[in-house]
Amino acid sequence: MEKEHFALLSSDDPFPRNHFSKHLHCKLNLSVSNSDPNPGPPNRLVLKKQMKERGFFAYPSDFVELHFPFKYLEKEFIYIVGSSNGIVCLLDATPSNTDYDIVPILWNPSIRKAIYLPRPAVKFPFSYLPMEHDGFGYDPITDDYKLVRIVYLYGWGNQHTREKISPLVQIFSLRTGVWRTIPDPGSQFHIVHQSDSVFVNGSVHWLAETEKNIRFDSDDDDDDDTFRNGIFTFDIGDDTFHEMAVPKCVELVYDLNMNLAVLGGSLALIPWNRWNLGVEQYSVWVMKEYGVAESWTKIFDIDVGEGLGRVVGFTNNGEALVTKDGKLLFYNPSSRRTLNPHIHAQPASLYLDTYMDSLVLLNVEDGALGR
């Protein structure tokens, strides 16, 4: 995780908020799964001991390794929600057959502190199948960090048909220290399963799609039931939801895998699907003017030959971190060359973001907000 060394202080700290220090390039080792045969979706990391032979990095002099305080973990899995201004948001969670319980954690690696947040008050019984999507971001106007939680509930009807219930939306504010529930946004889009959240331009973004109500008896391309891909957003400042269009060439494509990322401070989208020929494959699109659908621009293709897998993200200098044949590679779009950083970890377990040094949470006692 390439990082920029920047200090942002908490609102009650007597030091200036715009204190800067030297730049530092390092990788953040959140956790590594090196033996689980089923690592799960991206950002779902199985916590195990690291390899003693080589460690996380083959060349430790090139990186600064930061350790998470494992004493805080209660559950089996940890999910990386996102990071903002040097604060990393995690979910310590274990789905079970009886309920679904999460333990939110905020972690500041630069001061080696992690704190529990209060658990959300709402739990779900076995009769419902919850699909949870989370996002994390910072509002500079109120100097507040927020965690948004959207839970889609799926129940089973009398005829064993799956029925979707209106989503539950909850927001946690670090400034107030409490959760609150807001109304269902009522969008025609629902967030795609396993979609990573991306925070940029003051909003959290998820990949979304409309319900797949395919009408084989209609030849009308403008039919209201037409499937569409899109982006669902949540404004951290005013707590409102919005919808955003994707590039026209992928808007109506079924079963197309896509990634959201941040490239050069702009929202980026990478469609990929090795089985869906005839559509964009590992092309990188950037929204040049935020919120303007017509400004989506294809800037380059990621071409590393056969075996290309997941696009993890982009570094500050525009290189893409990708997976190929189970290995991690940096891809330089200008030279079209790759570099192996020799990071020994399961590719699906990695998270890439820009990191800034921060003193946020310095005045908060460990576990003070909740257990």
Farthest CA pair distance, the chain: 67
Which tokens in the block code for residue 262?
Answer: 């941040």
The string of DSSP codes covering 77-138 is EEEEEEEETTEEEEEEEEE-SS-EEEEEEEEEGGGTEEEEPPPPS----TTEEEEEEEEEEE
pLDDT of amino acid 351 = 81
pLDDT of amino acid 268 = 98
List the one residue out of 285, 338, 357 whose CA is nearest residue 21: 357
DSSP type of residue 58: S
Rounded Cα gap, residues 250 and 261, in angstroms: 16
pLDDT of amino acid 180 = 94
Rounded Cα gap, residues 202 and 141, in angstroms: 10
Dihedral in degrees, nearest 10, Cα atoms 302, 308, 310, 314: -30
pLDDT digits (tens, 9 = 90+) for 141-193: 999 999 999 988 776 554 344 456 678 899 999 999 999 999 988 888 889 98
pLDDT of amino acid 166 = 77
Domain boundaries, the chain: 185-299
pLDDT of amino acid 214 = 41
pLDDT of amino acid 357 = 81
pLDDT of amino acid 302 = 93
pLDDT of amino acid 341 = 81
Q: Mapped to the 3 state alphabet, what secondary structure does 68-79 carry? A: CCHHHCCCCEEE
pLDDT of amino acid 289 = 98
Rounded Cα gap, residues 248 and 269, in angstroms: 12
| 3-class secondary-structure state, position 111 | helix
Query: Mean pLDDT of successive 10-residue segments in the chain (371 residues)?
Result: 30 30 34 37 38 47 60 67 91 62 85 87 66 94 96 61 72 94 88 90 96 48 70 96 95 87 96 64 94 97 85 90 87 93 73 82 68 48
Distances from the Cα of 98 to the Cα of 89, 91, 127, 128, angstroms: 26, 19, 9, 10
Which tokens in the block code for residue 337?
Answer: 């060359």
Task: State residue 110 phi and psi, 5-degree precision.
Answer: -70, -25
Taking the CA atoms of 353, 363, 91 and 171 in sequence, report the sign of the dihedral they define: negative
